[in-house]
Amino acid sequence: MSSSDQSGIFKLGNRTVKRLGYGAMQLAGPGVFGPPKDHAAALAVLREAVASGVNHIDTADFYGPHVTNQIIREALHPYRDDLSIVTKISVRRGADGSWIPALSRTELTQAVHDNLRNLGLEVLDVVNLRSMFDVHHPAEGSLEAPLTVLADLQRQGLVRHIGLSNVTAAQIAEGRRICEIVCVQNYYNLAHRADDSLIDDLVRQGIAYVPFFPLGGFTPLQSSTLSVVADKLGATPMQVALAWLLHRSPNILLIPGTSSVAHLRENLAAGQLTLSSQTLAELDGIA
């Protein structure tokens, strides 16, 4: 049994995926812009992930832009039948690598077609609409207009399922009045727990919660408590942080990213860690 198998499973759209997946953002160059410094290593990481049982890959055509999707296609196409590739739209990249909101009907439609072309797909498994009222944090505002566009593309058969990213509870409720929402992707980890009550609500509704920056992102998690627990378990602090997320709620799907095969294996091994109630209580205190 692989490490990804031991992480458990959860429903994502019409597929059942393993709870330890892979995020492709780090396959692009610095600042998620341009090509990777080691193209062969990027291909190797993706192939190792799938060989290890991963069947949930998170990406976006604005990573690079276009870079990660093209690498995914080169590494894995034709795709395994059980592989779910989840992408997101609502952003385009400036020539300087800046992140620019792209929420018009034309931009959203183009983004879906760009993802289809670069991934080599006829239909996208799941497309997350990312809120851009605040680039870094959820902020209130209506998503009706862009989500209606995405729902139209779903009815055209270009998108199977729709998710939301960087959103509030009110925006999720608004979204569910427009179309079925199968997942929510927000910033959440051991130290950043603003979505605790939201996660509990979503699990009751059968909606997957996919934390981005599960290990802190550009500012990796640092905690003496985390380090002490990791030492006791003979694991790394990042493995413990991932294991805590798997214990936190059964609807949490993890997409830690890396451009290293060795680091990928380390992340997947987090699925083998069992945390006692005492250990969980210690880790809960970090927040």
Q: Which residues are catalytic?
A: 63
Phi, psi of 12 (to 5 degrees): -135, 100
d(C-alpha 6, C-alpha 42), whole Å = 25
Q: CA nearest 247: which of 206, 279, 207, 213?
A: 279
**117: Cβ contacts below 8 Å, ≥ 6 apart:** none
CA distances from 272 to 8, 146, 247, 260 (A): 10, 40, 12, 20
CB-CB contact of 267 with 242 (8 Å): yes
Q: What is the CA radius of gyration of the chain?
A: 18
23-51 in b/e form (b: 16+ CB < 10 A) is bbbbbbeeebbebbeeeeebbbbbebbbe
